[in-house]
Amino acid sequence: MTRAARATAVAILALFALQLAWHGWLAPPARVAPWAMALFFAAPLLPAVVLVLLRHRRAGFWGALAALLYFCHGVMVAWATPGLPGLALAEAALSAVLVLAASWDGMRARFAARRARGANV
């Protein structure tokens, strides 16, 4: 497992834990059961968490796909909700780290192939 794959797995699990803690404990909703809201917000990451636990190589793809939703949510909440900027910015930052870590190996291989092609021409 590469460092990028390990960083991806850690970011997936951290973002999942953040969702459970945020909506279940740190800032629970007033009108809905906190456990239900925590599960609702953590649900998009469940496939990626399962794939991380199974050490499947596609975990990063599914985690990064879900992270795009969480990034948008984090930016929106940080902008619109005055009481939660810390949690929201943490969510956006973890999402950005997840997307970068998940795509790091592919970007590195792409640029290495481009350099190799340029050296052969």
pLDDT tens, position by position, 48-98: 999 999 999 999 999 999 999 999 999 999 999 988 999 999 999 999 999
First-to-last C-alpha distance (Å) of the chain = 33
User: Quick count: other Cβ atoms within 10 Å of Cβ 28?
Assistant: 14
Q: Is residue 70 within 8 Å of 99, Cβ to Cβ?
A: no
pLDDT confidence bin for 121, thresholds 50/70/90: low
Which pLDDT tens digit goes with each residue over 31-61?
A: 999 999 999 999 999 999 999 999 999 999 9
Burial class (CB in 10 A: 0-12, 13-18, 19+), 33: exposed
The structural domains of the chain, with segments of one domain joined by +, span 3-120
What's the rounded mean pLDDT across residues 105-118?
88
The answer on pLDDT for 119 being more than 80 is no
Per-residue confidence (pLDDT) for residue 20, from 0 to 100: 97
The answer on pLDDT for 118 being more than 90 is no
